[in-house]
Amino acid sequence: MHIIPPGLYRVDVLILISYQMCHFFSIQQLFPIFLNYTPKTTCIDTAKGKVCYDVPKSKCLQYNDFPNICANLTGTALSDCQVEKSHSYYSSAAMEFEIYCRPGWKDFRPAFVQYVGVLIGNIILGYVADQMGRKKTFILSMLIGIPSLSLSATFNSIAAFYFFRALTGIGIAGTMIVGWAYFSELVSPHQRFKLRTFSNWANARIMLTLVALFTGEWRLSSHVCACISLITLAIVYFILPESHIWLRKKGRYAEAEESRKRIAALAGIEFVPMPPPEKVENAEPEKTVNICTVFADPQLRKNILILWLMWFVTGMTAYLTDLCGGDMTKNFWVGQFLSGILLSVVRIIMGFADGYLPWMGRRFVLLCSQSLAIVFFGCVIAFLFAGEKGQWYYTAVYLAAFVFTSIVWEPCYLCASELMPTDVRATSTASCSIVGRFANIGASMLSGLKTIYEPGVHMISISLGLTNVIAAYFLLQETKNCSLDKAGTTAAKTEKATAQEMKDLIDKIDEEDVEKK
């Protein structure tokens, strides 16, 4: 008796699980939220006794003759006040190293050096994956990222901490960009949307928040995350093959057959060889597509430009919303869990709906999600002007704006795979991610506007969102269920992948026979 009956869905399930675990390492992108955490109040023992005070906006915890907020209390009331005001939800690197009190270091926080690493990884690893292969590059990324993550929490030197967080960023770039290209080429075409919905960033965020909650401090959290990430490395190294789509595109047909044979064995189905394409006499050699020649083709040029815009807008608005949402609830953990759980539920619902609603394409998801996000950002601004921040309905509309903004990432990733040819897919996706990383850095700078004029933050999100909606409506091509072999070509507009394209690549038997098995 098989736990999962033979069939390609057995491989799809394995890939969905693997990609979810890939996300768990990628979610280190958000770990600076925990690394930079500081409490709103704290207490310190002085010559005059225990003093509790409000942490200043600079987030420097060093006592500087601040007013004692428990000064007028005695007895049990004083004890209760000191316990409450000294409570910290998490023991962070910012608190241990006193980063916010150090000139120079406070201007280059862990998030900054990590994003530098991600940028370097995006620039290098996308090209390497197109040349060396998806699997090898993914493994290399993990071998850089996992040890660096653990080592970043090993030494007591702030310089070593920053250095290894930068190296961790390189590994994150590999799992985010090369990982998506690798797993999306292995999974069945009709399951590609589910790869972005069931195996999602929100689930990984919940997992990371659980690790942080139970460990309670950043060093142990880092070590635990590194150990869990070894699961992904083991699955890819020992079980999954290289992308047969990439191998065939490179003309390595014998290796592609071995990859397909491995998939057939994992699926528990009979393997039927696929001969290499017949050589046509006097046929023009296929042109190699790279990131430079993309701009020579009008269709590919339009595709890459609209992708860059989508990634910039989403990278800016999603990060701005996340970065400025720490105080949408009074309890730090409640806000983190609500953000992850709600987004995960919505994505899973979309994953089911995608299979039953053929009209729910990439354009539809982007246009609807971005438009709804704009509406909810407008509600957030209205409540801020009305002085209703902190009320349950403010939290509700803020969460809605966050969720619908985050959902726009799905068509961003899917279109990055489905609008560009295999030869340049990882490189073009890496270029999109670079644009997104610059948008993240810009968002981190603009988030300071919150302390000056908070509605302005969300006005920026509305303006960018409107730009995204207009551009997508007029320029974005629908790619749902397209064949990745034909992606980025004229044939892709009319030639869609069948629900069993992956099956055809393995054994060429009829769909009805597959379902009987």
pLDDT in tens, 297-310: 788 888 889 999 99
Question: Both tokens of residue 334?
Answer: 């409640």
**Number of residues in the chain:** 517
pLDDT tens digits for 467-489?
A: 999 999 988 887 776 656 555 55
pLDDT given for residue 481 in this prediction: 63
- 455 vs 485: CA distance, rounded Å: 46
Q: How far is 361 from 358, CA to CA, in rounded Å?
A: 7
Q: What is the mean pLDDT of the chain?
A: 82
Compute the average pLDDT of residues 409-425. 80
* CATH, domain range 291-481: 1.20.1250.20
Given a cut of 90, is residue 192 above it in pLDDT? Answer: no
pLDDT of residue 310: 94
Name the CATH topology of 1-22+106-270: Growth Hormone; Chain: A; (1.20.1250)
Q: How far lies 361's CA from each of 190, 411, 468, in Å? A: 12, 9, 16
| pLDDT band (50, 70, 90) for residue 2 | low
Tokens of 50: 């225990």
Q: Note the pLDDT of residue 500.
A: 46
Helix, strand and coil in the chain, % to nearest 5 = 70, 5, 25
For the ranges 185-189, 244-248, 398-402, which has the lowest average pLDDT?
185-189
From 197, 215, 450, select the one nearest 346 (Cα to Cα). Answer: 197
Structure tokens at 143: 């071998």
Beta 41-46 vs 49-54: how paired, if at all? antiparallel
Q: Residues 291-298: what's their mean pLDDT?
A: 75
At which residue do the structure tokens 């560009």 appear? Answer: 420
Residues 360, 353: contact at Cβ < 8 Å?
yes
Q: Which residues of 156-190 are buried (b: 16+ CB within 10 A; e: fewer)?
A: eebeebbbbbbbbbbbbbbbbbbbbbbbbbbbbbb
pLDDT at 343: 82
Task: Report phi then psi at 483, rounded to 5.
Answer: -80, 125
Residues 6+ apart with CB under 8 A from 178: 125, 126, 129, 134, 137, 138, 141, 426
Cα separation, 456 vs 442, in Å, equals 15
- The arithmetic mean of pLDDT across residues 40-64, rounded, is 86
The model's pTM: 0.79
Question: Which part of the chain has CATH 1.20.1250.20?
Answer: 1-22+106-270, 291-481
Q: Which pLDDT value is given to residue 5?
A: 60
Q: Is the per-residue pLDDT at 218 higher than 60?
A: yes
**Which of these, 390, 402, 383, lies nearest to 341 by C-alpha position?**
402
pLDDT tens for 60-111 read 888 888 899 998 888 899 999 989 898 888 999 989 998 888 887 776 778 7
d(CA 496, CA 481): 6
**pLDDT digit string (tens) for 128-146?**
887 888 999 999 999 999 9
